[in-house]
Amino acid sequence: MQAFEYIPATTVNEAIAILHQQGDQARLISGGTDLIVQLREGRRKPKIVVDIKRIPEVNQLSYNLIDGLTIGAAVPCYKLYGSAVIKETYPGLIDAASLIGGVQIQGRATLGGNLCNASPAADSIPALIAHNAIAVVAGMNGERHIPVQDFCTSPGRTQLEPDEMLVSIQVPAPRAHSYGAYLRFTPRNEMDIAVVGVGVWVALDDTRVVITAARIALGAVGPTPLFVNEAGASLVGQPIGSQAIEKAALIAQLAAKPITDMRGSAEQRRHLVAVLTRRALDSAIARASA
User: For strand 142-147 and strand 5-8, is the pairing parallel, antiparallel, or unpaired?
Assistant: unpaired
**Residue ranges in 90-149 that form contacts with ligand FAD under rule CB under 6 A:** 99-101, 105, 108-110, 112-114, 116-117, 122-123
Site string for ligand FAD, 32-71 (x = CB under 6 A): xxxx-x--------------x-------------------
206-218 burial by CB neighbour count: b if 16+ within 10 A, else e?
A: eeeebbbbbbbbb
C-alpha to C-alpha distance for 28 and 80, rounded to whole angstroms? 22
C-alpha to C-alpha distance for 99 and 101, rounded to whole angstroms? 6
In this chain, which of 61, 105, 266, 275 binds other proteins, going by CB under 8 A? 105
Using CA atoms in the order 202, 253, 145, 31, what is the torsion angle rounded to 10 degrees? Answer: 90
> Residue 88 burial by CB count (10 A; 0-12/13-18/19+): exposed, middle or buried?
exposed
DSSP run (H or E) holding 238: none
Q: Does 165 bind ligand FAD (CB under 6 A)?
A: yes
Task: Report, in Å, the least distance between residue 10 CB and ligand FAD.
Answer: 15
Q: Does 29 bind ligand FAD (CB under 6 A)?
A: yes
In this chain, which of 17, 20, 32, 81 binds other proteins, going by CB under 8 A? 32
Task: Report, in Å, the least distance between residue 265 CB and other proteins.
Answer: 25
235-254 burial by CB neighbour count: b if 16+ within 10 A, else e?
A: beebebeeebbeebbbbbbe
Q: Does 61 bind other proteins (CB under 8 A)?
A: no
Task: Write out the residues near ligand FAD by the rule CB under 6 A.
Answer: 27-35, 37, 52, 73, 99-101, 105, 108-110, 112-114, 116-117, 122-123, 160, 165-166, 191
Task: Write out the residues near other proteins by the rule CB under 8 A.
Answer: 1-6, 8, 29, 31-33, 36-37, 39-40, 49, 51, 53, 76, 78, 101-105, 107-108, 189-191
